[in-house]
């Protein structure tokens, strides 16, 4: 009923929207090639295959990108409100930001941004109240701020710091070592590191890390990443001398990571076959025995096993084995048979989203209807206390050692910037440690949670945030955001860009779609592979709810999502072009038949399925944004965003989608691409680039949703 009712309403609104537009844009001419693939007897054309070529290597693709950016830049520059939007977002971003401190070797490490610095600066201090000292300033690594600190690990004695650097937003990292006392870097340099941390041996003489083989030819940013291998690096030696610790050439697609237990006794080797943390194998090695061979503890990819910590030979894991919402178990490696495993903290009605082993107790982070609840237990499973949080929102952190008596956590919500608290593990008292001072009044905004029914009757939660006093008359510009995949939960969090959206009079809606991790593994699996359509149905139903409840109307409803969320936006704008007034798909997975052929794409098969499987191919082809577009359809205004150095979701996805939607577009609504240079999937993006991108997106929405915001002059 809702579908038919609002489709009819949208039909009435379309002429009004179209008449407000200028004449249709003239898009750059994109050549087509004769490429046809056959999948399980079905022929599928791919006329824009050439746009998959690396933009840094292909002159043809680079020229196409330049032409697309030229028309997009001109369009955005002509929006009168754009400069004022940028001015205000710059003012909002200009506040002091901190990360929660972490403690190592008696020293405290944290990052700080004075306001508009492109990158956070790393500091160290002897006590939480001592004078801090700059340890690493990534802003000095490049003039434009495009080289970022992408990982760090201090040795147990806080003598050395291993740290990763990434350039232009790439997932590739180069690791170095710093002398903490002097602040001087050593000569150590480790290349071709990706998706890895560093874990020191207790003697502080070296650390374990994972890397891939050096790519050949021009494959650095596009080739699939295979044969991940665990190494040990000794300080002061070249990478060529690093010791190979563990590899699985029989399974080149597996991921391999290693971490040393707090007592320094064991190396825990985690072997995965997907990106969700599911299906984990665990191997360990006794570091006190030089000739000890790795011992398989969990030798099948069946469930998730996240190592929490150990008490000698007793290993603790967070697992969903027999507990879709998670539990804590203990495995004594002296009698490792499954019949001897013990449940320490049993499955609860709420999703267990993370566990820390600190201060001799388990600090368990639960999601109770997508809001954080934290509970503490002894290693025997006895309940200690609830952590009293400062409100309804998201708490994260609680790191440290088993001997610590304090820990730190960050608390945030849609109208609360990240406040940092020090938590006394003995008394259970939280003390405000640092509070950011953003130039806004939190009480001016309302945050609430609603639930609506999806197409199949499933109840789905959604957060709504907006300035107090809005009228439910269907005229409010609204931005609906979603993700719906990879077991990732969208919990309440603060965003300066979202604050500006609400400040301009917009309603923010964040839908907790199936495919995410909000309610455990069953919720996640209900939005994967051949069930992926459930995610799109949930998102469409969210839009229908917002319209039915008179928050907004189709002409005033914008949608946004990035990465897997970019796929979401691309799919639903095709399935329901009548429902949305503007669309912002960012760094999206748009070709669902070939995603596994590039960089990290092969990991996503666990969530998406693969075109190599006939049943999954048929489901993928049906919703794949690049393939589902039809000629002669009036698609809503769309601004596709991506970046030239995105080696997570290669930009070819967005390039091909852009070319195809420009070819298919029948209406006057703009379908544009904004392609950033020297940037990647999002991590490490300089503040200056974030501000520019936000200003462009909000300007696009202001124009195409017919907004009249009050802005600074």
Q: Which of 224, 206, 207 is CA-nearest to residue 215?
A: 224
Per the annotation, the verdict on 563 as an active-site residue is yes
Please state, in angstroms and rounded to a whole number, the distance separating the CA atoms of residues 211 and 230.
7
Please state, in angstroms and rounded to a whole number, the distance separating the CA atoms of residues 670 and 661.
10
As assigned by CATH, the class of the 2-18+29-91+440-704 domain is alpha beta
Q: Which of 301, 294, 190 is CA-nearest to residue 241?
A: 190
How do strand 406-413 and strand 394-397 relate by DSSP bridges? antiparallel
Please state, in angstroms and rounded to a whole number, the distance separating the CA atoms of residues 141 and 147.
6
**Residues facing 37 on adjacent strands:** 44
CB contact at 8 A, 258 and 208: yes
Q: For residue range 578-628, what is the model confidence (pLDDT) as tens digits?
A: 999 999 999 999 999 999 999 888 889 999 999 999 999 999 999 999 999
The DSSP string of 509-520 is EEE--TTSSTT-
Q: Which residues have a Cβ under 8 Å from the Cβ of 145 and sit 6 or more positions away?
A: 117, 118, 119, 138, 139, 686, 687, 688, 689
Q: For residue range 323-354, what is the model confidence (pLDDT) as tens digits?
A: 999 999 999 999 999 999 999 999 999 999 99
Q: How many residues does the chain have?
A: 713
Please state, in angstroms and rounded to a whole number, the distance separating the CA atoms of residues 629 and 301.
37
- Please tell me what DSSP assigns to residue 685: -
Which residues of the chain, if any, have pLDDT below 50?
A: 1-21
Q: How much is the pLDDT for 22?
A: 62
Q: Which of 274, 353, 324 is CA-nearest to residue 522?
A: 324
Per the annotation, the verdict on 646 as an active-site residue is yes
What dihedral angle (degrees, nearest 10) is formed by the CA atoms of 229, 355, 565, 58?
-20
Element (H, E) at 281: strand 281-286
Please state, in angstroms and rounded to a whole number, the distance separating the CA atoms of residues 258 and 209.
7
Pick the catalytic residue from 111, 350, 681, 696.
681
Q: How much is the pLDDT for 223?
A: 74
Please state, in angstroms and rounded to a whole number, the distance separating the CA atoms of residues 647 and 466.
35
Q: How much is the pLDDT for 712?
A: 77
Q: How much is the pLDDT for 2?
A: 32
Pick the catalytic residue from 170, 563, 611, 654.
563
Per the annotation, the verdict on 218 as an active-site residue is no
- Please tell me what DSSP assigns to residue 293: P
The DSSP string of 19-44 is HHS-SPP-PPP------EEEETTEEE
CB contact at 8 A, 182 and 230: no
Q: How much is the pLDDT for 220?
A: 65
Element (H, E) at 409: strand 406-413
Please state, in angstroms and rounded to a whole number, the distance separating the CA atoms of residues 569 and 576.
10
Q: How much is the pLDDT for 219?
A: 66
Q: Is the pTM of this model over 0.85?
A: yes
Q: How much is the pLDDT for 682?
A: 84
**Could you write out the three-class secondary structure of 477-504?**
CEEEECCCCCCCCCCCCCCHHHHHHHHC
Helix then strand then coil, in percent of the chain rounded to 5, is 25, 30, 45
Residue 517 phi/psi, 5° resolution? -110, 15
CB contact at 8 A, 403 and 361: no
Please state, in angstroms and rounded to a whole number, the distance separating the CA atoms of residues 81 and 74.
14
How do strand 430-434 and strand 416-424 relate by DSSP bridges? antiparallel
**Residues facing 309 on adjacent strands:** 316
Pick the catalytic residue from 171, 278, 350, 646.
646
Q: Which of 309, 258, 312, 264 is CA-nearest to residue 283?
A: 258
């Amino acid at each position: 009923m809702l579908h038919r009712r609002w489709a009819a309403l949208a039909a009435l609104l379309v002429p009004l929207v179209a008449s407000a537009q200028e004449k249709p844009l003239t898009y750059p001419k994109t050549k087509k090639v004769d490429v046809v693939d056959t999948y399980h007897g079905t022929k599928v054309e791919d006329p824009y295959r050439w746009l998959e070529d690396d933009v840094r290597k292909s002159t043809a693709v680079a020229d196409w990108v330049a032409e697309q950016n030229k028309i997009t830049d001109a369009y955005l520059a002509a929006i009168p409100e754009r400069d004022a939007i940028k001015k205000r977002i710059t003012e909002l971003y200009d506040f002091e930001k901190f990360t929660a401190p972490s403690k190592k070797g008696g020293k405290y490490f944290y990052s700080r941004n004075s306001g508009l610095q492109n990158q956070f600066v790393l500091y160290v201090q002897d006590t939480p109240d001592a004078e801090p000292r700059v340890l690493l300033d990534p802003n000095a690594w490049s003039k434009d701020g495009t080289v970022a600190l992408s990982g760090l690990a201090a040795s147990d004695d806080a003598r050395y710091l291993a740290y990763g650097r990434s350039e232009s937003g790439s997932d590739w990292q180069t690791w170095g070592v710093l002398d903490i006392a002097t602040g001087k870097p050593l000569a150590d340099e480790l290349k071709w590191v990706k998706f890895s941390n560093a874990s020191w041996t207790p003697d502080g003489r070296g650390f374990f890390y994972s890397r891939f083989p050096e790519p050949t030819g021009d494959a650095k940013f596009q080739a699939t990443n295979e044969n991940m291998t665990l190494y040990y690096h000794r300080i002061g030696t070249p990478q060529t001398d690093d010791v190979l610790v563990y590899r699985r050439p029989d399974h080149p697609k597996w991921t391999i990571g290693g971490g040393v237990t707090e007592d320094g006794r064991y190396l825990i080797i985690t072997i995965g076959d997907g990106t969700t943390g599911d299906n984990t194998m665990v191997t360990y090695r006794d570091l006190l025995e030089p000739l000890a061979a790795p011992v398989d503890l969990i030798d099948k990819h069946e469930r998730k096993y996240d190592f929490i910590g150990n008490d000698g030979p007793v290993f603790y894991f967070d697992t969903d084995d027999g507990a879709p919402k998670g539990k804590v178990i203990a495995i004594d490696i002296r009698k490792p048979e499954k019949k001897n495993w013990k449940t320490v903290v049993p499955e609860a009605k709420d999703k267990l989203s993370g566990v820390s082993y600190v201060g001799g107790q388990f600090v368990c982070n639960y999601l109770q209807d997508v809001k954080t609840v934290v509970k503490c237990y002894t290693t025997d499973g006895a309940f200690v206390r609830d952590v009293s949080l400062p409100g309804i929102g998201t708490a994260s952190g609680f790191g440290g050692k088993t001997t610590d008596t304090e820990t730190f956590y960050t608390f945030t919500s849609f109208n609360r910037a990240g406040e940092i608290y020090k938590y006394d593990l003995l008394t259970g008292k939280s003390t405000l440690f640092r509070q950011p001072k953003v130039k806004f009044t939190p009480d001016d905004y309302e945050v609430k949670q609603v639930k609506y029914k999806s197409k199949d009757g499933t109840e789905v939660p959604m957060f709504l945030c907006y300035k107090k006093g809005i009228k439910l008359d269907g005229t409010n510009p609204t931005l609906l955001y979603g993700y719906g995949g990879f077991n990732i939960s969208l919990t309440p969090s603060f965003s300066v860009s979202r604050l500006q959206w609400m400040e301009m009079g917009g309603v923010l809606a964040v839908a907790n779609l199936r495919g995410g991790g909000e309610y455990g593994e069953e919720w996640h699996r209900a939005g994967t592979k051949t069930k992926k359509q459930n995610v799109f149905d949930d998102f469409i139903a969210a839009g229908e709810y917002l319209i039915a409840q008179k928050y907004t109307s189709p002409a005033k409803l914008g949608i946004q999502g990035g990465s897997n969320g970019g796929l979401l936006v691309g799919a639903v704008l095709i399935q329901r072009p009548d429902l949305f007034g503007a669309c912002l798909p960012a760094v999206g997975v748009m070709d669902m038949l070939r995603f596994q052929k590039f960089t990290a794409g092969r990991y996503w098969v666990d969530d998406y399925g693969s075109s190599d499987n006939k049943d999954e191919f048929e489901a993928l082809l049906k919703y794949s944004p690049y393939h589902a577009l039809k000629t002669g359809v009036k698609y809503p205004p769309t601004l596709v965003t991506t970046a030239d150095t995105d080696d997570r979701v290669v930009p070819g996805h967005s390039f091909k989608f852009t070319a195809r939607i420009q070819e298919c577009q029948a209406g006057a609504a703009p379908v544009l691409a904004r392609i950033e240079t020297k940037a990647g999937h999002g991590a490490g993006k300089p503040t200056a680039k974030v501000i520019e991108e936000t200003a462009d997106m909000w300007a696009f929405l202001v124009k195409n949703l017919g907004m009249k915001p009050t802005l600074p002059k």
